[in-house]
Each structure stands twice: as C-alpha cells, then as structure tokens.
Amino acid sequence: MNRKHFLQHIGLLGAGVAASRYGFSNSTVHAVADELIKIGVIGCGDRGKGIMHTIKNNVSQRLRTVACCDMMDFRLEEAKKIAPSATVYRDYRHLLDNPAVDAVVIAVPLHQHFAIARDALLAGKHVYLEKTMTFTIPEALELVKLVGSRPSQVLQVGYQYRYSPLYLRVKELIQRGDLGDVTQVDCRWDRNNDWRRSVPDPAMERLINWRLYKEYSGGLVAELLSHQMDFIHWVFDTHPDEIMGFGGVDVYRDGRETYDNVQLILRYNKQGMIGNFGTTLGNARDGFSFRIKGTKGTISLLFDTGRYYPESGVAVSRGIVDGVTGATAVTGEKADGFPILPERTKDGTIYALEDFHQSILTGKLPLSNVHTGAKGAICASLANQSLYTGEPRYWKSEYSV
C-alpha cells in the first residue's frame, strides 16, 4: 500500500485543501467555557490510549476525553473502555466539527502529523501534537508559519521530559555551570525486540506497522532518539551544525525499511560539543541511558531519576544535590554518585498535560512549542537523510525559526 492509497484509506485525501472545510479567514478559536478542557483524541494506538489513561487517572479534573477517532474498529473499542462516554469517529474531520471539543491530542503515524495538525488549527482547536512534530522539513517550516498566524491557539509538541522536575533540575545545574564545560553527550535507547505489532489481517501490515516503512516513518531516530536530541537543544539553546549517521537493517531482515541498528554523531560548534546517539533492537542491556559529560562532572539520567558523578577533587554542595544529608562539601570520591532529586518523578506526560491545560487557560507559550518542535523535526529528518545516503547533513540558516 503506497502513500496515496494509505491516505485514501484513512480519509486524508481532500483534507489537504483544509481552507475549503475550515475557512482560514472565517474560523474562530473554540471558546473554553471553564477550567475543564474537553479533549478529542485522534489516533487510538498505544500512545493515544496511553494519553487517555493519563488524562483519566491523573489530570481528569483539568482535562476530559469527550471524543476519540481511529480508522480501526478494534482500537475504538479499546478506547471506549477508557472513556466510555466519549463520542467515537472514524474520520478525524468529523471530530473537528464537534463544537464540544476544545482541544485535540494527535497521536497518529508520523506522516499524518502535519495534515491533521493543520486542519485542527484551522478548525479553531488547541493542539497537543505527538513527536516528532512533522515528517518533513517543509512541513515543519509551514506549521511554524500557521501557528504564528493564530496567536490565540496553543500548539504543544509531545516532548514530555521538558516538563519533568528531574530534567528541569538538570537544566538548571548545567546552565549554572555545575558540570563545567560540557563536551560530550552519550545517549542510548536500546531494546531487544522486533518493534512489530500484531496484525489481524495481512492487508493491514503497513497501517499497523507503519514505523517499519520509510514512506510513513522516521524510524528509531524520530520515535526514540529525538527525545534526547530535544533535551540537548533545550538545555544548551542550540542545534547541531553537522550530522553523520550510520546504520542498517542488521537484526531483523523481515522486509522492514527503517533501520534497526543506528548510530549518529552530531557536532555542536558553538558549544564545542559532540553528541553520540545510538539505538539498537538487538540488545536491551543499556536500555535508556543519557550521560552528559563536563569538566567538573557527569550527569547520568534515566526516565525518572538521575545521579551526579563529580570529577575527582570536585566538591559537591547541597546546591547540586537536593535533600541528601551530608552532601555539603563532600569531595567527589563517591563511586555511585549522588542523586539529583531525593525521589523518582512521575511520568513526564502527566506534567506535560498539566502544562497544556495551563497554556490554554493563560495563553502562555508551552515549553515544547512549534519553534522547538520544528527544530526537533528538522534534526530527525537530517539524521535520517544522513543514515540513508551515507553522507553528512548540515544545518541551514533557514531552519532556525
């Protein structure tokens, strides 16, 4: 099934002329009646249902799922178990016509992100758009322009670690200089599985396993490594100047097109820093690992906890380590480092959705917004270009929007 047939199957062709349905000059932002924001979820796969669970179990007093949309009936049935009162749709454009929906969560395959986000904005909805923001660089630049023309609407991109107290604390420590000069970043996100979903009908292979095909997916770079790339963009207010990628289908030779074994090297000239980003589906030993290395110490991060490892002879103060008895004026000889926060944090999606709620009510710019989302999408696209061509890719001035 090619891209055209895929889009026809899910009702996306024709949505390209969005202004004919949601007239740009005539559309208005849906008025929010009170502090409870009514959400429509477009895409009820694993991520969409995961967000529905988070809304139900953690932020139900601020957000409520009132509608959901998916082209697959079995996914809609699963979604209804999470939000029994939600109205269900098989065509997202009908969901956008629902006046009860204040905002939408878009958790669809990557190649659909731009078209649905554009239509949602033109329909007057606020948007929580899963990462990466768009599939292509031109789409990212165009979405920046569209959001800029609609200042009353919020578009937040799903890089949830920007909202975690742990990652906010790490950002503070780095910007304060507690790591010294950072010259190396080592990131991995490894698994030992084939990344496939079960397919009830062979005709649905590309619809369900879209992540494995270049026509629809940014592969492991977009789905996994872009989270860590985004954090580096945020902490250092930077972008890579040069990207070189290596990879292949080395583990699962089963007809997939996106690589299952990837290594990227990113050069950040302004910082004098090199980023090493790798992922494989053939070994899960390292799992998620994120190490930021400076002349005064190293920060090692997991999803919900992190530790600081000072270089030999570097004193550790309570200003670096929160709530750890005896941490003041300790020399850096502790082999297992020091915890950055005294307790593990919650799932980052909880904090991100809480901020989405506040951004809608107050009109403030989200931490993960269309500009930062564009940077992440462009970076992932350039990395994939390098992976598949074997040639380096370079940042251009027009990408900084």
- Give residue-wise pLDDT tens across range 269-285: 999 999 999 999 999 99
- The residue-averaged pLDDT of 284-306 equals 97
Q: What is the per-residue pLDDT across 328-370, written as a single tens digit (0 to 9) for each? A: 434 445 668 999 999 999 999 999 999 999 999 999 999 999 9
Same fold, 15-162+352-369 and 164-345+381-394: no
Q: What is the per-residue pLDDT across 196-228, written as a single tens digit (0 to 9) for each? A: 999 999 999 999 999 999 999 999 999 999 999
Confidence of residue 317 (pLDDT cuts 50, 70, 90): low
Whether the per-residue pLDDT at 19 is higher than 50: the answer is no
Whether the per-residue pLDDT at 319 is higher than 80: the answer is no
Q: What is the per-residue pLDDT across 91-123, written as a single tens digit (0 to 9) for each? A: 999 999 999 999 999 999 999 999 999 999 999
Whether the per-residue pLDDT at 318 is higher than 80: the answer is no
Whether the per-residue pLDDT at 51 is higher than 50: the answer is yes
Q: In the prediction, which pLDDT does 104 show?
A: 98
* Percentage of residues of the chain with pLDDT beyond 90: 85
Q: Parse the chain into domains and list their residue ranges.
A: 15-162+352-369, 164-345+381-394
Confidence of residue 315 (pLDDT cuts 50, 70, 90): confident
15-162+352-369 CATH fold: Rossmann fold (3.40.50)
Confidence of residue 33 (pLDDT cuts 50, 70, 90): low
228 and 291 Cβ atoms separated by less than 8 Å: no
Whether the per-residue pLDDT at 262 is higher than 90: the answer is yes
Comparing 13-17, 38-42, 208-212, the range with the smallest average pLDDT is: 13-17
Of the segments 126-130, 319-323, 328-332, which one has the largest average pLDDT value? 126-130
Q: In the prediction, which pLDDT does 387 show?
A: 98
Confidence of residue 13 (pLDDT cuts 50, 70, 90): very low
- The residue-averaged pLDDT of 151-162 equals 97
Q: In the prediction, which pLDDT does 343 show?
A: 96
DSSP structure class, residue 150: -
Average pLDDT, the chain: 91
Q: What is the per-residue pLDDT across 55-89, written as a single tens digit (0 to 9) for each? A: 999 999 999 999 999 999 999 999 999 999 999 99
In this structure, the chain runs to a length of 401
Q: 79: Cβ–Cβ under 8 A, 6 or more apart, which residues?
A: 41, 44, 48, 49, 52, 68, 70, 86, 88
Q: In the prediction, which pLDDT does 316 show?
A: 79
Q: Write the CA distances from 235 to 121, 243, 340, 342, 360, integer angstroms.
A: 29, 19, 16, 22, 25
Confidence of residue 30 (pLDDT cuts 50, 70, 90): low
Residues 286 and 283: their CA atoms lie apart, in Å, by 8
**DSSP per-residue codes, 358-387:** HHHHH-PPPSS-HHHHHHHHHHHHHHHHHH
Instruction: Give the dihedral of Cα atoms 256, 257, 263, 269; nearest 10 deg.
Output: -150
Q: In the prediction, which pLDDT does 10 show?
A: 45
Q: In the prediction, which pLDDT does 87 show?
A: 98
- The residue-averaged pLDDT of 139-151 equals 98
Confidence of residue 320 (pLDDT cuts 50, 70, 90): low
Confidence of residue 32 (pLDDT cuts 50, 70, 90): low
Whether the per-residue pLDDT at 4 is higher than 70: the answer is no
Residues 91 and 285: their CA atoms lie apart, in Å, by 41
Residues 102 and 67: their CA atoms lie apart, in Å, by 10
- The residue-averaged pLDDT of 235-247 equals 98
pTM score:
0.90
For residues 218 and 320, which has the higher predicted lDDT (pLDDT)?
Answer: 218
CATH of domain 164-345+381-394: 3.30.360.10
Q: In the prediction, which pLDDT does 313 show?
A: 85
Q: Which residue has the tokens 């490894």?
A: 190
Give me the half-sphere count of Cα atoms (radius 13 Å) on the Cβ side of residue 307: 9
